[in-house]
Structure formats: structure tokens, C-alpha cells
Amino acid sequence: MVEWTDFERATIQDIFSKMDYESVGHNALARCLVVYPWTQRYFGNFGNLYNAAAIMGNPKVAAHGVVVLHGLDRAVKNMDNIKATYAELSVLHSEKLHVDPDNFRLLADCLTIVVASRLGTGFTADVQAAFQKFLAVVGAALTKQYH
């Protein structure tokens, strides 16, 4: 089980309470697909992903970005039991979709960049540490690397 400090809990809850899911989710997933084009292989049914403009304008990318953030919201609400919260999604992503576990880290990095750009100077090193710890725990739970 992961230990969370009061600061970490408050920080994660604060970030998600202020987050514009449509904009942040879309921008984070689109950034991941542009910067790391090999991640596109999991989204073959999304249509045109041939360049950055197509990815940014793709409504399926935007919609799935929102789905991802709502998935993360489940972890925010269940910080003491993230592993169990993601048990079903873990099976889906690892055993059925065969998603490379490193892709969760890549998406987490892109999400961190987008959140940092929104929070500006409020995204201090302590806030970043809490946010990245949270994303690492979620990523581990999704890929069965949870300790």
C-alpha cells in the first residue's frame, strides 16, 4: 500500500478539482500521440493520425483524453486502494490490449507538462513530486507493477 502525506492528498485533489477535463485530457493525449508516434498503434480506429494538426483536430482523441482523465478521477477518489480500483482496467490494458507499460509513463509525462502549463508558478517542485507520484502509482496499478 502506498503512503500518502496530507500535502500529497490535498495537492492531488486540488489539481483535479480545478482541471478542465476536456482541454487537459485532449491536449495530454494528443501531445503523447504526436511526440511518441509509436503510441498511435493502439488507436487504429481513431482515423486520421497522420500529423500533429490531424491529431489535435481528431474528435476521438479529444474524447478519449476525457475518458483517461475520468479514469484518473477514480484514483483520486480511491487513493488508499488504487490497485483494486484499477484491477479490471489493468486486465484490459495488459492482457487484452497488450499496451506497452512504458506508454503509461509517456502519457503521464505529457499530462504533467499540460498540467504544469495550466498551473504556471503554482506548479512547484513539491506539487510536481506529488502529482508524479500519483501518476506513477496509477501507472503501476494499470500494468500490474504495483508494490
Torsion, Cα 32 44 66 109, to 10 degrees, reads -20
Residues in the chain: 147
pLDDT confidence bin for 81, thresholds 50/70/90? confident
From the CB of residue 123, how many other CB atoms can be counted at a distance below 10 Å? Answer: 17
Write down the number of H helices and E strands in the chain.
8, 0
pLDDT of res. 65: 96
Q: Give yes or no for residue 119 having a pLDDT over 70.
A: yes
Q: Give yes or no for residue 111 having a pLDDT over 90.
A: yes
pTM of the model: 0.88
12 contacts 131 by C-beta, under 8 angstroms:
yes
How far is the C-alpha of 60 from the C-alpha of 48, rounded, in Å?
A: 10
Domains of the chain, each with CATH number or no CATH: 6-143 (1.10.490.10)
pLDDT confidence bin for 146, thresholds 50/70/90? very low
Q: Give yes or no for residue 99 having a pLDDT over 70.
A: no
User: If you compute the radius of gyration of the chain from its CA atoms, what whole number of angstroms results?
Assistant: 15
pLDDT of res. 147: 38
How far is the C-alpha of 114 from the C-alpha of 31, rounded, in Å?
A: 9
How far is the C-alpha of 79 from the C-alpha of 39, rounded, in Å?
A: 27
More confidently predicted of 118 and 86? 118
Q: What is the average per-residue pLDDT within 80-99?
A: 59
The C-alpha cell at 60 is: 476521438
Q: Which of 64-68, 76-80, 120-124, 131-135 has the lowest mean pLDDT?
A: 76-80
pLDDT tens for residues 18-39? 999 999 999 999 999 999 999 9
pLDDT confidence bin for 43, thresholds 50/70/90? confident
- DSSP conformation class of 57: T
62 contacts 26 by C-beta, under 8 angstroms:
yes
The C-alpha cell at 9 is: 492528498
